[in-house]
């Protein structure tokens, strides 16, 4: 099995935990900006420490980034920061499921952006897998039984859907940017280049969003520091998940990684059924089945 597959699955699992923790912060304590900044603030020093320790332990020099690296990493960092804010903002809206579904357009958009920016085409089997997976996501977006099913026009054209589409586009930009940044580094093994790129990105995000909060939402800085127990867990899960994503992006085309990353929805489904004891509809089961089939096609196409 190619190493990028288990690494991506791990990253998706940690991302699922991180969004759950951020949702808790958003609905109980922090604003959208504060909940987003908590992720970067508490993960940045952890990533920097990992880079330093790993470089010393593996007897490697730190990579020497050039202008191309900084162009990719800054664009990726800004896009990811804005995308995360869009997802966190979704938590305040009732039609959350549809917004999250449209966030998953990131898989298709990442494939298109990767082709345009990096010249990386996607094989026909993976294109088919992406299509199968997206149909599964659409089935999962239907409201649970007993809730009012809005017309498609009302379900698609609303604030939450706008946040979802925006986050999908921005996450696509960030994935391609991070892969471009990591590939532009002239030296270092896969993990060092991935961790170094992540350290640079989180540093940019921590400083940029921190300055924004100091200007527009100064009280949020104190609240993020005060909520260190949960915010620290957000930072830890963010760091672990991001290390997985960045390592996978360094090894494999971003579109393949994002397509496999849809397994995050399977984790959400399993958590709902086995932990929360929620009953699932036949349509939800079909949606999960299609996503699993999509993941299987990606696995076969990568062998």
Per-residue pLDDT of the chain (303 residues; tens, 9 = 90+): 789 999 999 999 998 888 778 777 877 788 888 888 998 999 999 999 999 999 999 999 999 899 999 999 999 999 988 887 887 777 666 555 555 666 666 777 787 788 778 878 777 777 787 778 777 766 765 555 555 555 555 555 566 667 777 888 898 899 999 999 999 998 889 999 999 999 999 999 999 999 999 999 989 999 999 999 899 999 999 999 999 999 999 999 888 888 888 787 777 777 767 765 666 677 767 877 777 787 777 766 665
- Residues 129 and 301: beta-carbon distance below 8 Å: yes
What is the distance between the alpha carbons of residues 228 and 283, in angstroms, rounded to a whole number? Answer: 39
Which residues have a Cβ under 8 Å from the Cβ of 55 and sit 6 or more positions away? 61, 62, 192
- For the entire predicted model, the pTM comes to 0.81
Rama region for 5: left / alpha / beta (φ>0; ψ in -120 to 50; rest): alpha
Q: What is the pLDDT of residue 232?
A: 92
Give the count of domains, the chain: 1
Q: What is the pLDDT of residue 167?
A: 85
Q: What is the pLDDT of residue 276?
A: 59
Q: Give the model confidence (pLDDT) of 185-197 as tens digits.
A: 988 899 999 999 9
Which residue do the tokens 């190493």 mark? Answer: 3
The 3-state DSSP class for residue 252 equals coil
Helix, strand, coil in percent for the chain, rounding step 5: 80, 0, 20
Q: What is the span of the domain harbouring residue 166? A: 4-302
């Amino acid at each position: 099995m190619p190493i990028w597959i288990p690494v991506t699955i791990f990253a998706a699992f940690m991302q699922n935990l991180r969004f759950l923790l951020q949702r808790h912060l958003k609905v109980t304590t922090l604003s959208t900006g504060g909940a987003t900044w908590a992720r970067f603030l508490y993960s940045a020093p952890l990533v920097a420490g990992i880079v330093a320790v790993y470089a010393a332990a593996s007897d490697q020099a730190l990579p020497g980034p050039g202008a191309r690296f900084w162009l990719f990493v800054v664009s990726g960092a800004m896009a990811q920061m804005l995308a995360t804010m869009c997802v966190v903002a979704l938590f305040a809206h009732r039609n959350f499921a549809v917004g999250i579904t449209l966030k998953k357009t990131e898989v298709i958009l990442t494939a298109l952006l990767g082709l345009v920016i990096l010249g990386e085409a996607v094989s026909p089997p993976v294109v088919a897998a992406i299509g199968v997976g997206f149909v599964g996501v659409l089935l999962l977006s239907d409201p649970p039984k007993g809730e009012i099913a809005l017309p498609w026009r009302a379900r698609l054209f609303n604030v939450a859907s706008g946040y979802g589409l925006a986050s999908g586009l921005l996450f696509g930009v960030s994935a391609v940017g991070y892969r471009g940044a990591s590939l532009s580094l002239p030296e270092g093994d896969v993990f060092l280049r991935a961790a170094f790129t992540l350290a640079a990105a989180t540093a940019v995000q921590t400083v940029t969003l921190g300055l924004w909060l100091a200007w527009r939402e100064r009280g949020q800085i104190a609240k993020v520091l005060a909520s260190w127990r949960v915010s620290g867990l957000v930072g830890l899960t963010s760091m672990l998940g991001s290390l997985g994503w960045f390592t996978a992006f360094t090894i494999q085309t971003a579109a393949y990684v994002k397509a496999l990353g849809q397994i995050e929805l399977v984790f959400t489904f399993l958590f709902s059924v086995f932990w929360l004891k929620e009953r699932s509809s036949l349509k939800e089961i079909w949606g999960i089945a299609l996503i699993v089939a999509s993941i299987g096609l990606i696995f076969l196409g990568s062998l």
